Every structure is written in structure tokens, then in C-alpha cells.
Chains A and B, each alone.
Chain A
Amino acid sequence: MKNLFNKKNICIIVGVLITYGVLFGLISAKVINSYYKGIITFALINVILAVSLNLIVGFTGQLCLGHAGFMSIGAYVSAIITQKAHMPFVASILIGAVVACILAALVGYPTLKLTGDYFAITTLAFCQIIQIVIMNIDTVGGARGLTGIPTKTTFTVAFIFMVASIVIIKNIINSSQGRAMLSIRENEIAAESMGINALKYKMMAFIIAAFFAGLAGGLYAHYSGYIKPDLFDFNKSIDYLTFVVFGGMGSLSGSIISAIMLTFLPELLRGMGDFRMVIYPLALILLMIFRPEGLFGDKEISLKIFGKLIPSKKSDDREEA
């Protein structure tokens, strides 16, 4: 608290750098082939999506079913900007994210005023509308998709954006604004009675979540070089929600680990053919039976736990960041 460079933060920074160094080294040395490199990069992007969705669903308690919609906005806007306006890649994905923010504000303002399921239904509808609209715009390829996007997202870029997203969202949660969001999740009436403008903080959480979803969309578009509306349909929104629920609503470490696990799991199960369609859902069902609150509940991994496991050794958990 008093010092930004206290022991804990240094441990985290070292942990993040080691993780990055090891992965980067393995990729450069071609120990990790480009197929797995792709999956790792997607996992990093999924972490951004899971963590940002957790901010609105897990920490603020507002069920959002349209995260993929905001991702698609970020993806399309940034792709078009780099393709047509030839703007720098980072600028274009930031613009994409800002556009996602603006749309989130327009959708959020009327619906977050209400309590109940309206917000979930509206975001679900929003995701569908965006998909249909994109399908019907020929200049962005319609249902065929948009091809030839410069592939500028590298492992390093995705890693930096992921760490930045986690740090920003973690800092927001551990602040007065974050406490306001948590209090709304816990009891909206009591929160308002303690002087908290619930609408303002719900909007704030939703807009920030949309920003990072847009950012993730931009990274995705510039990694795969090809996007189509189907990639951002309702099922994708549910996938991201699964990351959040699996990891634990209200746990950032949970979201990070579950996003990585659930990105790799289907790939690792690929060898099992059709059985993977059974094993993946089975894993989810078992988790929900035995740990309905998700892997981590609303707890975070703390360095203390690692300290107990491996005394006097710096832990390699960028999850803590």
C-alpha cells in the first residue's frame, strides 16, 4: 500500500517476467510449435475476456450475456481501421475498444436503471443484433467474413495487453469504485442507502468490461487475420461466461486459470475424437456439482499459499498480478 515496490509487488513482477521469458524462449526456440503458440495466444486473449466479464458479472453482479458482441465490435472496427485507414495497429485496437465502450454506454444506460433480468436479456439481444447487422454489411464481407487483416498480434503484444488488463481491473476492484461495485452485488438497496449511485457504478463496470472485450476482439482479429460474424455469436458469450463461472464469480485468479484451462482442454482432448464432446461438458458438470461456487469461489490466490508450498522460493504466478 505505502510503496509500489514492496516485496509482494516485486515477487509478482518477477513472476510475470519469468513466465513471459520462459514462454517466449520456448516459442523462439521452436520448442512450442506454431499450433500451440496460437493456442497460447488465444488463451491470453481469453483471459482478457474472462477477467473483464468477471468485473461486470462476478464483481458487480449484473449478468451480461453479450460479451462476444462487444468483442466483435472491437474486432471489426479495429480491422477496418488498420485495413482502410492504415493506422498503427495499437491505435486501431484502442479505437475499436472505445467504440465498444460507447455502444455499451448506449445499451447500459436504459437497462441498468432497472433491476432484475432486463440487463441479461438486453445484452443477449444486443449480441444477436450486432451479429445480424455485420452479416448484412457487404463492405465488411457480410456473412463471408473479413479477410486480409494484417496479422500484427504477436505473443508479446497479447501478453502485454493481458497483464495490463489484469492489473487495471485488479486496481479498480481494490479501490473505492470497486467497493461500490461489490456493494451493489451484495445488496443494491443498502448500497444506495450508503450514498452509492448504483447506476453510475453499474455503468462504469459495464463500460470498462466492454472496453476490454473490444480490446480482446481487436487482438483476436489481428492475430487470426480473418474474422466472420459466426465467431462472435451467442455461444461465444456463453463460453466466456463459462470461464467466469468455472473459475469463480468474483475471483480474478479463478478467471485467469479457468480461461487458460478451458482454452487448452478442448485442444488437449482433440486426440480423443468425439469423446471430447463428452469430457468437456462432463468436467463442467462435475465442477458444478462439487464446487458450485467455481474453482476459487470469490477467493484470490495469495502469495501466502505459495509461500507455504514452496518456502523461500519466488513463486511463478502471474495470476496474482
Chain B
Amino acid sequence: MLEIQNLSIVFGGLKAVSDFNLIINKKEIVGLIGPNGAGKTTVFNMLTGVYTPTEGTISYLGEKIQGLKPYNITQKKIARTFQNIRLFSHLSVLDNVKVSFNYRINYSIFDSIFRTPKFRKTEAEIIDKSIELLKVFSLDGKKDELASNLPYGEQRKLEIVRALAAEPSLLLLDEPAAGMNPQETVELTKLIDWIKDKFNISILLIEHDMKLVMGICDKIAVLDYGKKIAEGTPEEIKNNPKVIEAYLGEGA
């Protein structure tokens, strides 16, 4: 469903990512791992339109999407979360989720001004759907709180809810377990696996927590210095000498 071919990007003289290839199939969880600075988030940013790749193609459901604007890519059903949480912190939890419905609204600004029946019907639907989603993640009790007042773990969850509200068929998670304790990570691992089945989507995730990655990924790609050094099932990756070298250094 997602096919990345020969993806490269150059910043000044630095080739941050070179010749990256990856295929993600339907209902697959793919992990993207690698040491710090390997270019994982850069790949994410190219996938979501934040950066335009210098070379290569990204095709999604048979459509070329490289170089599109971030909002176009979301409209093509790819949604993401961020490594450093980027919630709309001064908006309520509910409003954070409602924002994701924006690109699918069928009413115009004049409907908003005059509060037409169309406006009221759509708004009611958006609220219902948002609350339903929040319920799934047991955040509905906090729907009126400001996003910034949520504890860290719930902020991460809310980011996932917000991304899911955009109705993606591919979800990109950038270090979802960052800053979580082992207990929370275990819960998150289950949650991600469950999301895949419940929403019938594919997931690409960047993660440093090996337990999480090895536990749920169908396939793992390893990046080092912008190059893919390995790809395979968790078992294959665990025993791959190149990966061990990249993580632990030569002679380890």
C-alpha cells in the first residue's frame, strides 16, 4: 500500500537519507529503528510532506505523494503523531480531536455564520464521533480539560486519538513510548496492536524501546547514517551482525 523507492534528501552538503526503500502492506506494523541521528524522523517528515525529498518516489495506494503539502497528505489518509508532543495545548481535549475533522466538513463559512441546519447537523456528528473516539481511549472523562493539563502519558494518547480522528489508513507514530515507564510501555504495545485491528490500518513506527518494537512489528527496517542497513522480521534483525554493530559498535 505504501511504497518508498530510492528516497534521498540532501541538506546543504549532508545526505541525511540516501536510497531508502520500504514497502508497507495492508494491516502491517512496520518498525523503523536506528541510532540517534540516523534519519528516522527525516523519513517521517518526507512521508508527511514537511520536507520534499531530493530524489526518489513515495507512492501510496498507487498515487505519487512526494512533495505534496502536509495537509494534502493527511487528506490522502496518512496521519501522524510527533516525537515532541505537539498538541493544541490551549484547546480542550475535545477540540483537539474536533480539529481533525476539519478537512471533511461539508459546510461553508456562511453556514457557520448563520448557524444553518447543515452546520448544526455536522457539528453534532463531529462531537459524537470525537467523543466516541475519546471513549475508546478512555479519555472522554477529560474532554473539557485543556490538553496541556493532561499527564504526559495521556497527552501521548491524545495525539494518537487526534491522528485517528483524521481517519487514516496509515498511521505514523514517532516514538510513541518516549518518556513512558515500562508499565506504560507494555500498555502502549497492546494498544497499538489493538488499534491496528480495530481501525483496520497499517502502522509505521519509530521507536527506541526494543521490547515494544520486537513485540509488535511484523517487519523492521534499520537505518544508520541515512542508509538502510537491514530489513526483516524481528528475529532476523535481532541476529543481524550489521545491526548489532550499528548499535553497539564494532567488535561487540
Contact = CB atoms under 8 A, between A and B. Distances in A.
A175 B119 contact: yes
Per CB-CB distance, the 4 closest pairs between chain A and chain B, nearest first, are A175-B112, A195-B103, A186-B88, A195-B74
B156 interface: no
Nearest to A190: B86
Given A190-B87, A194-B166, A298-B90, A168 B100 contact: no
A198 B99 contact: no
A176 B101 CA distance: 8
Interface residues of B, number: 39
A204 B109 contact: yes
Contacts of A189: 50, 70, 82, 86
Interface of B: 48, 50, 69-71, 74-75, 79-80, 82, 86-91, 95, 98-103, 105, 107, 109, 112-115, 119-120, 122-124, 126, 162-163, 166
B75 A195 contact: yes
Nearest to A204: B109
A197 B103 CA distance: 8
A289 interface: no
Contact of B120 (A1, A183, A186, A195): A1
A313 to B, nearest CB: 27
Contacts of A196: 71, 99, 102-103
A187 B166 CA distance: 17
A172 to B, nearest CB: 6
Interface string A186-208: 11011111111110000010000
Given A175-B112, A175-B123, A193 B90 contact: no
Contacts of B80: 193
Given A172-B113, A187-B87, A189-B86, A179 B70 contact: no
Contacts of A168: 113
B166 A195 contact: yes
Interface in A169-188: 171-172, 175-180, 182-183, 186-187
A117 B111 CA distance: 33
Contacts of A177: 102, 109, 112
A184 to B, nearest CB: 9
A304 interface: no
A196 B49 CA distance: 13
A176 B113 contact: no
A193 B98 contact: no
Given A182-B91, A204-B109, A194 B79 contact: yes
User: What interface size band does chain A fall in?
Assistant: 20 to 34
B224 to A, nearest CB: 27
Interface in A73-102: none
Of residues B82, B103, B112, B120, which shows the largest number of chain A Cβ atoms within 10 Å of its Cβ? B112
Interface of A: 1-2, 4, 168, 171-172, 175-180, 182-183, 186-187, 189-198, 204, 250, 298
B48 A193 contact: yes
Given A168-B113, A190-B88, 4 more contacts: A4-B115, A186-B89, A190-B87, A194-B102
Contacts of A187: 86-89
Contact of B69 (A1, A192, A250): A192
B100 A194 contact: yes
A172 B162 CA distance: 22
Contacts of B112: 171-172, 175-178
Nearest to B82: A190
B109 to A, nearest CB: 5
B95 A193 contact: no
B107 A176 contact: yes
Contacts of B48: 193
A171 B120 CA distance: 12
A193 B80 CA distance: 7
A176 B105 contact: yes
A229 B74 CA distance: 47
B74 A194 contact: yes
